[in-house]
Structures are given as C-alpha cells and as structure tokens.
Structure 1
C-alpha cells in the first residue's frame, strides 16, 4: 500500500489572540500535514526530532493518538537540548507572527530511515529543508527517496523571519526544486525569496526548468496550477477565518490525499490533465478552508468522518 513520508520540524505552538494565550497545540509545517493524513487513515511515516522532556512527551503521545508513527523520531537527550516552542501572535486578520525558542543538540536527525517504495509520496519543506545545519541529512534522504521513484512534494514555506538568509540558502533552494516532482509556494514565499509574485513569470523563469508541476497559492485570492497540460486558476470560497496558521500545511495534506484518492502514479504525474489536477487541488482547498475556521492546526475528527462519507 502506498504511504506518505514527511520530514520536518515538530514544535509546540502557543497561540495568542489580543495578547492572551488561546490554544497550545503540537505543530510544525510538515507535522500538521502528517497529522491530518493520519486522521484520514493514510499510512504515514514521519522523520522529526523532539526533546526527552514534557513537551516532547506530549508531542509523541499526540502522534500516537493520531495514527502517526513515532518510529522515525530522533529523541535527543543531552541534558541541554529541549523540544522547540513557538509563540504565534494572531493579528486583526488572524494571520500569525511567530517567535521561536529552541535548544538543539550538536548532533541532529540521528534517525532510522523508513523504507521508501515506488509511488510513495514524500513531503518536505520550510526552513527545515534549507537549513545549513541539517542540509546533508535532508539531502541524503530526499536523494534516496528519488532513487526509489517516490513522488517528491516540496513546500517552499519560507517565512519573512528568515528573509535575511535568502541569499545564503539559495543553492539549497534551487537544489530542492531540482529534486521535486511538485513544487508548492505562496505569494509570500516568493516575495520573500525572489521579490516576485507573478505566478506565470515564476513558473516560466524559475520553476519549469526543474519540474512541470507548480502550485501557486495566494490565500483568499485563490490557487494557480501550472503543468505540462496547461494553466488554470481556481477560486477559493469566502470563509470566516479564525486562524491561518495551519492553512498551507493542510492544503498540502489535501493535495497528497487527492493524489492517493485519484491513484496518480509518478509516471502519470508528468502528463496529468488539468481536470484531474483541479480534482486534486479541490481537496487541498477543502482542508485549508476547514482549518482556517478553527484554532487547530489540522482537520478535526468530525470533518474527517463527514469528508470520508462524501468522498467514498
């Protein structure tokens, strides 16, 4: 059976609204995607790292409860390192501004590699995917997954807080584009990294050399898909937003779920029709819309039951 393998950070998010904490939940970009997929019953493996501390134990317990294996988690315990924490401050539009706190050990990502088989899906991204301290380990695993003929999904997710490092990480960013079968980036990502937000120019001048499949998201302004069979803009429905923290992560989960639901192999991906892409992307839009209407970082169990009934 096909599975989804993620590699990325795990962090404990404390969410603030009007200066007061409203929610404390395990998070992290790829982590959020993987929890949503675990709740949907998708076979998953997740490569990450946590501390041997109270926060780490909360995170591991949460993974178990949501069908996400902890077999490939690096649990560090050197008396100094701790599980990372983020403070997320929601503004009047419920968009988040982050402050991060972490103490990592010298040796990181000392993990057991999961087996990767043809047509498995591998998701990676955010600063974790370009961090010079982790680059060698990330590169090794993504290269291995590519050799196994897995579908590689790269979510750029480059935050403004790292804008000053854009030039330094550019070689790793370009290399990630070369590895990827699908690239997903937001308007904010590209403004921060490349000072460009024109989706068509980005595809023509930056993305299409390495992969034909490019998904460009721009919040309430919708989604653009570029592929070998053409280009299409897809509107997103108007919703009342409580938090945008997990929106992109759950959009990614929806895309991966849609590829599995439509039984899209790596071989089929390069020539996938626009009509099939739209079906896949609509899963992403549904998941992102659902998460934006709560303070959770992932789709709810109630939504999972309803969604499964509607998409049998």
Structure 2
C-alpha cells in the first residue's frame, strides 16, 4: 500500500435535488451521488491522494451510481462491502443563497450495518490517516463498531473526524454524549459553524476549541462559510479568509475543505502519527489550500469537487 494513503470510512447518500416540474402536481428530482465521507474520498482521489473508501455499498440503483462515481474518481474500493440493504436517500431543497436543507430516508439502510467482522478484515498498515464522521459514528448498530475501529487504529494512524451533525436523523445530544470520546481519539477535528451551534450553542468558537484540545484533539478547524475558517493548533489560532466565488450551491463544500486540508498535510509528510511535527504555518498553508478546493466545489451544482488539473488551472487564472 502507498504510505500516503488516506482511508475514509462512512456513508454514501443519494442526494435528490428538487427541480421545477412540467405541471403543478408533480415533483422532479435530480439525483446526485453524495454523502459526506464519500464526498471526501472522491475529493482526495481527484486531488491525487491515494484514497481508499470503506463503505457498505448496496446493489440497488443508487448503490451502482455510488460505485460508478467513486471508481471514476480513482477511489480504491477493494475493501468496500457488498450490502444486501438498500441505499440511503436524502431529498434536498436549495435556497436562494445556495444552502441546502435535507430530509433523510435512512432507516435500516446499508450504511449503518457495520459489523466487527467486516472491519476486522481491513489492513491499515499502509494508511497514513483514517478519516470518518457524519452519521457513520452515531447511527446504530454500526456506530459503536466504527468507534472501536478508530480506537484500535489511533495508536499508529492519524485520526480525522468530521461530526457533520444531522439533527433531523440523530438528536444533537447523541453527538454531544460521544464527542469527548471522539476528541480523545482524533488528531484532527473539522466541523462547520452550524455543527458548533448544535453541539455547543453557548460557546464561542475559541472556547469550543479549548474544550476540544483539553479532551485530546491537537488540531481543530471550524469552517465558517463565506467567513473562511478558524484553525486552532494546541490553542494557537489563525483565521483564513474564504475565496470569493460565484456560488451555485454549498453542497459538499465542507467535505472538499477537509479533503484539501488532509491532502496538503499528507503531501508534505505530516500525516501518519500524532501530528508531532505539525506547526501553525503548516496549518495555515493547508487551510488556504482547503478553501481553494471548497470554493471550486461551490461554483458547480452538487457535491462535485475539482480535479487536480482544474485546481491548477484556477490558480493560473488567479495569478494571470
């Protein structure tokens, strides 16, 4: 295995976007393959990082769509589990600002049925970083299995977690109850401003970072949409502005930022342990790169992160 490999564990979700129909009593849906962890794996692979995705992929029409997208993006699916259950579906309504509100159809679907036997077959010896989060960590029966998998991997692998709170499916109290355990395992915690509001509604971003450092996480990054990102490394903080872009929608922007952050750190040999060699300048550079990846994702419809060549072209245009 490539020592720069990043392994991502989590769900695939069929994102169904509402569109105008030909008559008033019809609803048209445009379905795109998504899901936070899947988006992150796709973005990593498109950026050039060897990315392996641990997923339970249904054989239904959506599962085939997921597999096609992942394979076309260069994601390693050698450890994906063929699942008998159906795929998870989310129906999205996008407002005038490009923000999407989701309703989920996720009961007993393939993504949440992980067993210890399935994950026990996974070899992480060539993995520099294991990234997970979102619903995979809280939906049962698989959530507890995934958490045990992280705990076993943590002594030798950089652990990255994105809580990606989904209150329509799982009450924020469930995330709050487990967050301290995740922070004890995680080297990187990346979450959105919306996640922060749901997890610690009374806390400032700086106070939240200090709490999560105290629980064990070395690097905390809070993305703030048009206001950029706040990064905190052991309490030393910096802010990175967002890049101006014509926003089509924001679906997958946070996932793309996470991929850009991890890709940049991995390409510089900073992943693979407890981040002991990481410095604030490294974090700044990685966050700037992440904002570039996120901006390009926002400029197109749906969770469609850029390829490395597109990123290079946009940088050339920006310096012309």
Taking structure 1 as the reference length, the TM-score comes to 0.88
Among 268, 279, 298, which residue is 1:262 paired with?
268
Which among 69, 90, 95 is matched to residue 91 of structure 1? 95
Q: Per the alignment, do residues 52 and 183 of structure 1 end up closer, same or farther by CA in structure 2, a change over 3 Å counting?
A: same
Alignment CA distance shift 1:49-1:266 (3 Å): closer
Number of aligned pairs? Answer: 304
2:20 is aligned with 1:13: no
State the 1:265 CA deviation: 3.6
Which sections of structure 1, spanning at least 5 residues, go unmatched? none
Select which of 99, 124, 129 maps to 2:137.
129
Residues 7-59 of structure 1 deviation map (CA, whole Å, 9 limit, x = unaligned): 11111111225686574211100100101112233212111123221221222
The alpha-carbon distance between structure 1 residues 195 and 162, as it changes in their structure 2 partners (threshold 3 A), is farther
Q: Identify if the C-alpha distance between structure 1 residues 266 and 140 changes in structure 2 by more than 3 Å, giving closer, same or farther.
A: same
The more displaced of 1-10 and 40-49 is: 40-49
Q: Matches of 2:65 and 2:257 in 1, distance apart?
A: 25
Pick one of 124, 146, 150 that aligns with 2:154. Answer: 146
Mean CA deviation greater in 183-192 or 250-259: 183-192
Give the match for residue 114 of structure 2.
Answer: 109
How many Å separate the matches in 2 of 1:127 and 1:102? 10
Residue 67 of structure 1: CA displacement? 1.1
Residue 236, structure 1, aligned to residue 238, structure 2: no
Counting only pairs closer than 5 Å after superposition, residues 289-308 of structure 1 correspond to structure 2 as 289-301=295-307, 304-307=308-311
Distance 2:109 2:39 in 1: 24
CA contact (8 A) 2:18 2:28 kept: yes
What is the correspondence of 1:191-210 to structure 2 with a 5 Å cutoff? 191-196=197-202, 198-210=204-216
| Of 268-277 and 289-298, the range deviating more from structure 2 | 268-277
Corresponding residue SS for 1:296: coil
TM-score by length of 2: 0.86
Q: Which residue of 2 aligns with 1:166?
A: 172
Q: Distance in 1 between matches of 2:113 and 2:273?
A: 34
CA distance in 1, matches of 2:93, 2:241: 28
The Cα of 1:271 is off from its aligned counterpart by 4.7
CA distance in 2, matches of 1:216, 1:71: 32
2:164 is paired with a residue whose SS is coil
Is residue 41 from structure 1 mapped to residue 43 from structure 2 by the alignment? no
Counterpart Cα distance in 2 of 1:9 and 1:240: 29
Deviations 1:182-216 (A, max 9, x none): 11122110111221351111112343331221111
Distance 2:274 2:187 in 1: 11
Structure 2 unaligned spans of 5+: 22-26
Go from structure 1 to structure 2 and tell me whether the alpha carbon gap of 1:86 and 1:124 turns closer, same or farther (over 3 Å shift): same
CA contact (8 A) 2:44 2:51 kept: yes
Where 2:130 maps in the other structure, the secondary structure is strand
Per the alignment, in what secondary structure is the counterpart of residue 224 of structure 1? Answer: strand
* RMSD across aligned positions (CA): 2.5
Instruction: Indicate conservation of the 8 Å contact 1:229/1:274, yes or no.
Output: no
Contact 1:229 1:271 in 2 (8 A): no
